Amino acid sequence: MKKLYALFVVALLALACGREDGPVQAGEAGSRVPLPDVDVWLSITDSIGIEMGDSTLMLGMPAAAFWMPENRVVVLDMQKFRASIFTPEGEFIASLGRQGSGPGEFLLPSYLSVTPSGGIAVCDAMAGHLSFFSPDLEYTGSVSGFFPSPPVMTVFIADSVFIGMKPEFEQNENGLFMGYTVARWNISSPEPEQVFYSKLNPFDISDLSNINFTEGMVLFAATSEGVVYTTVLSTEAYEFNAMNPDGSELFSVTEPFTRVRKTQEDIDSEREFVRNRMRQGGAPEFMVNSYQPDPFLFAIGSMGIAPDGNLWVAQGVYGSPVFRVYNPATGEFLFTAALEVGDEERDITVMMNRWGFTGIDQMSGDWPRVYIIDR
């Protein structure tokens, strides 16, 4: 079960972070639909990662990249089994972790978060725990006991409290079920303090070739006060919900949405990327070859609380990163933002936290890199 779960995580993260966005000039029509009127432009100011040379500067498979306090950026590299700290100009500072099963080592590092004080938490799907490192990058311990494995995406709202999204498997008298939970945890226990979303769907383990990895997948964001926002990946509807820390509903937002079909180039690129990621994660070839992308684009691609404290919701139907930005307390729409990209930057997934914006480039034909983004 743990091996199956780890393979599931590899495909899940590939789908969550491997959006295929073609190169788009600012203000021009994208490869999907024309860009909307943009109020705020984000810009790329620098990048981390080189094609050849110093191994500390070369990235293998960046899975997450976030700003830290004191003007530093941490990058989790799944292929190199480590997290590395850089300056915004791309200079290497230090790294933590290596491949292995010992304290502070990783078997399948799938996601990384930065705590409010500047510590680092790494999810290891294969090892089954979250590992913690101090702001000085010293290993301080781990929390395990999650079933079947720990949350694969986390946001720390305090040094000891986090919101996470966790794939679930459950077997009962009615069969086997698979789904997702969004909840709040304290690092002292693998049991959640408060569940904000949970849903299971029937799962046929006898036919692994037909797994739909995104069915019912939920995305989330969380404020430092513990307000949680969730949206279920959908190609048919644009909607998300906001919940208070006690799980009660705060508000919901629904906006008009028209389904948009992917181009054949989008479909081919996504199929190749996800299949390669599954192979790298050890998936059997029959499961790899059976993966077929959804022919339609998701209405919402991701959510996050940006340095301005607002809720940024990534739109899934444009040829470059575009966001609708909302008041996190009321759900009132505030403005539209977009990342200005050129011919040399493509396939960028924007990641954000309280300290800043970064961009991960995983699907480019060039070398892997992380972009530094400024508003």
Q: What value does the mean pLDDT take over residues 210-219? A: 72
Q: What value does the mean pLDDT take over residues 130-153? A: 92
**pLDDT of res. 322:** 94
Q: What value does the mean pLDDT take over residues 4-9? A: 55
**pLDDT of res. 215:** 67
Residue 2 has pLDDT above 80, yes or no: no
**pLDDT of res. 272:** 79
**pLDDT of res. 184:** 98
CA angle 4, 10, 11 (to 5 degrees): 90
Confidence of residue 24 (pLDDT cuts 50, 70, 90): very low
Domain ranges of the chain: 2-48+149-374
- Distance CA(85)–CA(68), nearest Å, equals 9
Confidence of residue 254 (pLDDT cuts 50, 70, 90): very high
Q: Is the peptide bond before 148 cis (omega within 30 degrees of 0)?
A: yes
The amino acid occupying position 144 is S
Residue 235 has pLDDT above 80, yes or no: yes
Give me the percent of the chain exceeding a pLDDT of 70: 84
Assigned token pair, 283 = 């998936």
Of residues 264, 265, 285, 263, the one with CA closest to residue 275:
285
- Mean pLDDT over all residues of the chain? 86
Residue 26 has pLDDT above 50, yes or no: no
- Distance CA(294)–CA(114), nearest Å, equals 32
**pLDDT of res. 170:** 80
Highest mean pLDDT among 107-121, 189-203, 256-270: 107-121
- Distance CA(70)–CA(80), nearest Å, equals 25
- Distance CA(353)–CA(302), nearest Å, equals 13
Count the Cβ atoms, other than its own, within 10 Å of residue 127. 23
Confidence of residue 3 (pLDDT cuts 50, 70, 90): low
Beta bridge partners of 336: 324
Check if CATH label 2.40.128.630 holds for domain 2-48+149-374. Answer: yes
Residue 108 near residue 6, CB atoms below 8 Å: yes
CA distances from 351 to 67, 129, 287 (A): 9, 23, 29
- Distance CA(107)–CA(78), nearest Å, equals 9
Q: In what order do the strands lie in the sheet with 238-243?
A: 218-222, 228-232, 238-243, 249-255
Residue 20 has pLDDT above 50, yes or no: no
Q: What value does the mean pLDDT take over residues 171-191? A: 89
Q: What sign results for the dihedral spanned by CA atoms 190, 194, 197, 201?
A: positive
Residue 8 near residue 109, CB atoms below 8 Å: no
**pLDDT of res. 175:** 79
Q: What value does the mean pLDDT take over residues 268-274? A: 77
**pLDDT of res. 367:** 85
Q: What value does the mean pLDDT take over residues 42-52? A: 93
**pLDDT of res. 344:** 55
Residue 275 has pLDDT above 60, yes or no: yes
Assigned token pair, 354 = 């309280």
| Residue where the block lists tokens 């070739």 | 209
Residue 18 has pLDDT above 50, yes or no: no
Residue 118 has pLDDT above 60, yes or no: yes
Assigned token pair, 315 = 């739109």
Residue 343 has pLDDT above 80, yes or no: no
CA angle 107, 111, 113 (to 5 degrees): 125
**pLDDT of res. 149:** 80
Residue 172 has pLDDT above 90, yes or no: no
Q: What value does the mean pLDDT take over residues 81-99? A: 96
Residue 338 has pLDDT above 50, yes or no: yes
Specify the DSSP element, H or E, that contains 245: none
Please name the residue ranges forming H helices in the chain. Answer: 2-17, 264-280, 285-290
What residues have CB less than 8 Å from 34, skipping those under 6 apart?
none
**pLDDT of res. 281:** 62
Instruction: Compute the radius of gyration of the chain from its Cα atoms.
Output: 19
Question: C-alpha 357: how far from its chain's center?
Answer: 13
**pLDDT of res. 157:** 97
Confidence of residue 114 (pLDDT cuts 50, 70, 90): very high
Confidence of residue 244 (pLDDT cuts 50, 70, 90): very high
Give me the percent of the chain exceeding a pLDDT of 90: 60
Residue 293 has pLDDT above 90, yes or no: no
